[in-house]
Amino acid sequence: MTWMRGVRCHIRTLRTERRRWRADLERFRAARRATRKRGGEPDVDHPGPPPTGFSLLPWLLMGMGSFSNLLQGRTPNPWIGGLGLLAFNSLYVYVTFRAFDRAKRESASTRVALGLLALLTTGLALGYGGSWLMFFPLLGLATGAVLRGPWLGRTGILLAVYAGAVSAVRDDWANATTMAYGTFISAMVTAAILSLSEAVRELRAAREELARRAVEQERLRFSRDLHDLLGHTLSVVVVKSEAARRLAPRDLVAALAQISDIESVGRQALTEIREAVTGYREGSLATELTRARSALSAASVQPVVRQSGAPLAPQTEALLGWVVREAVTNVVRHSRASRCEITVEGAAEQVRLTVTDDGRGTGTGGGAGGTGLKGLAERLAAAGGSLTAGPAPRGGFTVTADLPAGGAEAASPAATGPRANRPPS
């Protein structure tokens, strides 16, 4: 009854793997149908469902000669031969199906089963010879499926020599050479094909993960752009609207000037948003300094702007423009300051921008950790610079940005090109 339990276990394993293979195949087909419904072409590079032990089952037909000898009564002690054939097939199926899962493939139980398969193959080959020697190439195939790595070559050579020696003892040297060659080739080719298939799938998974991360980073970049654009623009609109409301009862001309500025800021914001969406918005430090003066004056904050040093690289200007925009927005919205100093100092190796106010010492609504300042710190770090922000020693709040003289051009490939002025993606 032991062999009957082995048969039942063998059948259950085959059914489980068959269900798993069908499920993978159905997922692959569903993905292709979804691609077609979206109007796209099917992904021809998709390798389809992962291979399973079913791809190695047809090679068991190499043992049909032994099975035929059993049915025709040419095998002495047929019960022993039949049990040996059943045990060999069961161990072969067990080993090959576990070979497609890395954890199972490297487990001790799989290695023990492979060792038992080798002993059983040796016993059947020495006991019967002839067509029973064909189990050595099957052993090589199972070995190649399980042993992948630096030990495969040595193991394949030793297994081939061993198969040739056993064939020579049981049969003749001519057959020994063929058996050794077949065993070696089956082990090496199987390992090469399965390793290549596994590598292709890992590379595809890595490519999909990189694509997913690229989408997430682009969303983060765009959200930072919108924050920096709309946060500053809306703050200027609010401040100038309040100024127009205060001026309207006593100075209509000044109020209309503020309203004209609001219209101009709104139109400029629309242009910048369109350019940000298309990905080609260029920043200018001079433009941002001019806007900063206007926004600070409208908020009744005295602007003081100082700039010294050599002309800056375009990418450096773009990054410093972002810092001016964010820092001035925070001064207008949160500081309640009466004076704001903006200093740009260019040296041979480093450029420093400092924005200092005399307000209540809070640069954002809740301190120095606002979303805008965090985004700026990440952006400057990607360009090889740094951003510090915090309460000034004599009161107020200070934002300091340091950049290499080469700016983003010396930072990384991601910081060059038309997107260099945007948050790192």
Each residue's pLDDT tens digit, 223-232:
777 777 677 7
**CA distance readout (Å), 53 to 18, 146, 225, 352, 420:** 9, 12, 51, 64, 50
What 3-state DSSP class applies to 283? coil
- Helices 135-146 and 173-247 pack at an angle, to 10 degrees, of 20
Phi, psi of 366 (to 5 degrees): -130, 30
Q: What is the pLDDT of residue 422?
A: 37
Whole-number pLDDT of residue 370 = 56
Tokens of 344: 């740009």
Dihedral angle over CA of 222, 226, 229, 230, nearest 10: 180
pLDDT in tens, 49-71: 566 767 788 888 887 878 887 77
Structure tokens at 405: 């003289």
Q: How far apart are CA 391 and CA 399, in angstroms?
A: 9
As a whole-number percent, the residues of the chain with pLDDT over 70 amount to 78
- Does the pLDDT of residue 420 top 80, yes or no? no
Where residue 263 falls among pLDDT bands split at 50, 70, 90? confident
In this structure, how many other beta carbons lie within 10 angstroms of the beta carbon of residue 190?
25
Q: What is the pLDDT of residue 415?
A: 37
Higher pLDDT, 162 or 201: 162
Q: By mean pLDDT, which of 22-31, 54-63, 109-118, 363-372 is the weakest?
A: 363-372
Banded model confidence at residue 161, pLDDT cuts 50, 70, 90: very high
Can you read off the two tokens belonging to residue 272?
A: 């910048």
Q: How many CB atoms lie within 10 A of CB 46?
A: 12
Mean pLDDT lowest for which of 218-232, 255-269, 325-339? 218-232
Evaluate if residue 343 carries a pLDDT over 90.
Answer: yes
Do residues 236 and 265 touch, judged by C-beta distance below 8 A? Answer: yes
The pLDDT-based confidence of 369 (bands split at 50, 70, 90) is very low
Give the range among 104-108, 274-278, 288-292, 294-298 with minimum mean pLDDT: 274-278
**How far is Cα 226 from Cα 70, in angstroms, rounded to an integer?**
79
9 pLDDT band, cuts 50/70/90, is low
pLDDT higher at 371 or 375: 375
**pLDDT of 20:** 64
Residue 148 CA to residue 146 CA, distance in Å, equals 6
Q: Is 172 left (phi over 0), alpha (psi -120 to 50) or beta?
A: beta
Mean pLDDT score of the chain, rounded to an integer? 78
The SS3 assignment for 57 reads helix
Coil, helix or strand at residue 211: helix
Instruction: Give residue 100's pLDDT.
Output: 84
Model confidence at 342: pLDDT above 90: yes
Listed range (44-53, 249-258, 400-409) with the worst mean pLDDT = 44-53
The arithmetic mean of pLDDT across residues 404-421, rounded, is 44
How far is it between the farthest Cα atoms of the chain? 120
Which residues does residue 388 pair with via DSSP β-bridges, in sequence order?
400
Looking at the DSSP bridge assignments, the partners of residue 345 are: 308, 352
The CA distance from 116 to 108, in Å, is 12
Average pLDDT over residues 178-197: 87
* Order of strands across the sheet that contains 397-404: 302-308, 339-346, 350-357, 397-404, 386-391
Please check the confidence at residue 221 and state whether its pLDDT lies above 90: no
Neighbours of 103 (CB within 10 A): 8
Percent of the chain with pLDDT over 90: 10
The more confidently predicted of residues 157 and 361 is: 157
Among 29-43, 71-85, 248-262, the least confident range: 29-43
376: closest CA among 392, 363, 360, 359? 363
Beta strands in 23-152 (DSSP E): none
Query: Using CA atoms, how far apart are residues 259 and 240, in angstroms rounded to an integer?
Result: 7
Higher local confidence (pLDDT), 11 or 404: 404
Residue spans of beta strands (DSSP E) within 69-206: none
Distance, CA of 15 to CA of 9 (rounded, Å): 10
pLDDT of 133 higher than 70: yes
| Among 28, 92, 12, CA closest to 56 | 92
pLDDT confidence of residue 102? 81
Residue at token pair 């791809």: 55
Find the range with the poorest average confidence among 51-55, 236-240, 369-373: 369-373
Highest mean pLDDT among 39-48, 148-157, 382-391: 382-391
Q: What is the pLDDT at residue 394?
A: 80
Scan for tokens 């492979």, then name that residue.
Answer: 114
Long-range CB contacts (< 8 A, 24+ apart) of 18-22?
Answer: 18/54, 20/52, 21/49, 21/52, 21/54
* Distance of alpha carbon 400 from the chain centroid: 34
Which has more pLDDT, 221 or 104? 104
The pLDDT of residue 14 is 55
Residue 365, CA atoms < 13 Å, CB-side half-sphere: 4
Confidence of residue 417 (pLDDT cuts 50, 70, 90): very low
